Amino acid sequence: MVNKRDNWKAGIRDNLWMLVAILCTLFWGSGAPTIKLGYQYFQLKSDDIFSILLFAGLRFFGAGCMTLVIGRLISGKWPRIYRRLIKPTITMAMVQTVLQYFFFYLGLTIVSGAAGVLLSSTGTFFAVIIAVIVGLEIMTGRKFAGIICGMAGVIVFNLSDNLELTFRWNGEFFILLTAICYALHNILVKHYSKEHEPVALTGFQFILGGAILCLIGIAGGGSLIWPGFGKSLILVYLMFQVAVAYGLWSLLLKRYDTSKVVIFNALTPIFGAIFSWLLLGDNIWRWNTLVALILIVLGISLINWKRKFPAPAVANPRP
């Protein structure tokens, strides 16, 4: 007979993936503020596009190498490239690494770290909507309500004191394009991970995408001013953050429904605001931060909550 303690342990084990998802969003939340700090350390100006792309390319090339090492530690063998993996790798590299982060890095030269994380997190809801459109999932009342709550939280979080939204084509619009690329990336990971190892796919596409960004940056005359060992560690952290977050995220997408996983990305703007305050000194202590947090957590709960019905009583067998 299973006792309550065993049920409690089983419940923790079954829901441990949620803590992993939260860890991924914490890493992503630290991304934009840390990138802006990296701009300061490496003396990158907003109009020096090719140097910024070179910085981004180095980050993702190194992150791809780290991802493959993580795959080696998890599986006990090195991820390998094979013929059928080439097309998914090229597709993922172009959609996620090249396009998504091309817009993201350039958009961050205009918007604040907190706003960058906030707007990019709208990809969470685009991903759920696209998953329903392409037939990967079925829209339910709870999913719809969760999406509405999450998007409302994102909007509330971005409101200024005079209730206005700022939208510039080379700033907020670029970050919004990043969100759309992120949504497509989640769908592609869900599709390709059915036949391919997610960690290998993630690692190789980062290496390819990073190499492409580096080549674009170098071809355009981009260069980096090395800030010394201590400050250069921020680039190492950005590599590590990408490798761990995307590696774990791809494993979650392979095992669980897209909507149940990607909705956790709604927590990213909250973590982004905290790191923007800690690292950049951005002002985040506004009324809408708490309201946004409540709405986002409610959205996550609605999508992931499952009603448990009691098991039917079994009659005692006749003697």
Per the model's pLDDT, the better-predicted residue between 116 and 86 turns out to be 86
314 belongs to a structural domain:
no
* Interval 171-183: pLDDT, tens: 778 888 888 888 8
* Interval 306-319: pLDDT, tens: 554 444 433 333 33
| pTM, entire model | 0.77
60 belongs to a structural domain:
yes
317 belongs to a structural domain:
no
Question: Residue 231's Cα: distance from chain center in Å?
Answer: 25
Q: In angstroms, what CA-CA distances link 77 with 80, 183, 226, 303?
A: 9, 30, 35, 36
* Interval 224-274: pLDDT, tens: 988 888 889 999 999 999 888 877 887 787 788 777 787 787 788 788 888
Q: Please state, for a pLDDT cut of 70, what percent of the chain lies above it.
A: 86
319 belongs to a structural domain:
no
Count structural domains, the chain: 1
111 belongs to a structural domain:
yes
* Interval 88-116: pLDDT, tens: 999 999 988 899 888 888 888 887 776 77
Could you tell me the pLDDT band of residue 14, with boundaries at 50, 70 and 90?
Answer: low
**Is pLDDT of 304 > 80?**
no
Determine the Cα–Cα distance for residues 192 and 207; give it in Å rounded to an integer.
Answer: 18
313 belongs to a structural domain:
no
Of 113, 213, 120, which Cα lies nearest the Cα of 174?
A: 120
CB distance 122 to 179 below 8 Å: yes
**Is pLDDT of 222 > 80?**
yes
Average pLDDT of the residues in 148-169: 72
Residue 81: its pLDDT value, please? 84
**Lowest-confidence pick of 102-111, 160-169, 184-193, 247-256:** 160-169
CB distance 205 to 92 below 8 Å: yes
Determine the Cα–Cα distance for residues 89 and 195; give it in Å rounded to an integer.
Answer: 13
**Is pLDDT of 6 > 60?**
no
Of 129, 239, 108, which Cα lies nearest the Cα of 177?
A: 108
Average pLDDT of the residues in 282-300: 75
- Which residue has 């906030």 as its token pair? 118
CB distance 280 to 113 below 8 Å: yes
Residue 312: its pLDDT value, please? 41
Residue 10: its pLDDT value, please? 56
294 belongs to a structural domain:
yes
Q: In angstroms, what CA-CA distances link 160 with 163, 165, 280?
A: 5, 7, 19
Residue 319: its pLDDT value, please? 31
Determine the Cα–Cα distance for residues 67 and 245; give it in Å rounded to an integer.
Answer: 10
8 belongs to a structural domain:
no
Residue 7: its pLDDT value, please? 58
Residue-range definition of the domain harbouring residue 83: 20-304
Q: Please state, for a pLDDT cut of 90, what percent of the chain lies above it.
A: 20
